[in-house]
Amino acid sequence: AWHKGQPYDLLILDQMMPGMSGDMLTERLRAEPRFAGLRIIAYTAHAMNGERDQIMAAQPMLLMTRRRIMIQP
C-alpha cells in the first residue's frame, strides 16, 4: 500500500525479528518525518522489566505482552 501512495494507518510490530529488534526499527521509523504520524503497536511474548523499558523508550503508542498492555503517555 505504501508504494502505491496509500500510507499505512497502523503497524503491529513483533519485537523478535531476525536482523533487527522491533525497538530499533521503531526508533528508525520515528526519526523519519514521513512516519511521524504512524501508530505503532509493539508486541512481545517475553518482555522482562528492563526489556519493557527499552521498548517503551522507542515510543511505540502501545506495547502488548502476553500478560500486560502498556500505553505510552
Distance set, CA 28 to CA 21, 25, 46 (Å): 11, 5, 22
Cell numbers describing residue 73: 503517555
**pTM for the whole structure:** 0.65
**Nearest residue to 35 via CA among 43, 27, 24:** 27
Neighbours of 34 (CB within 10 A): 9
What does the angle CA 30 – CA 31 – CA 36 come to, to the nearest 5 degrees?
A: 45
pLDDT of residue 48: 67
Per-residue pLDDT tens over the stretch 12-64: 888 877 888 888 888 888 898 888 788 888 887 766 667 777 777 777 776 77
